[in-house]
Amino acid sequence: MATSTCVKCNNTSFEHKITNVGGKPFVFIQCSKCGGVIGVLNNYDLQSNIQEVKSKLDNLTP
């Protein structure tokens, strides 16, 4: 199996970092040596999502 390497510095170890983009949290998968980003994932905050849905449902009830 091939080893994943950073396209910028050829390092083979990676880390994740939670970063806000436009006020929403995302998980960046990045090289642990140079910080080059190789992927971005949504960071779902379950409690915030529940509160948002509850708020929308509360507004629907007469």
- Residues 13-53: tens digit of each pLDDT: 999 998 888 888 888 999 999 999 999 988 777 777 788 88
The count of structural domains within the chain is 1
pTM above 0.95, yes or no: no
Q: Identify whether 3 is part of a domain.
A: no
**Residue 6's CB: how many other CB atoms inside 10 A?**
19
Q: Identify whether 52 is part of a domain.
A: yes
Q: Identify whether 43 is part of a domain.
A: yes
Q: Which domain holds residue 40?
A: 14-60
Q: Is the pLDDT of residue 6 over 90?
A: yes
Q: Identify whether 39 is part of a domain.
A: yes
Cα distance from N-terminal residue to C-terminal residue, the chain:
59
Q: Identify whether 27 is part of a domain.
A: yes
pLDDT of residue 61: 62
pLDDT of residue 51: 83
pLDDT of residue 62: 63
Residue 10 DSSP code: -
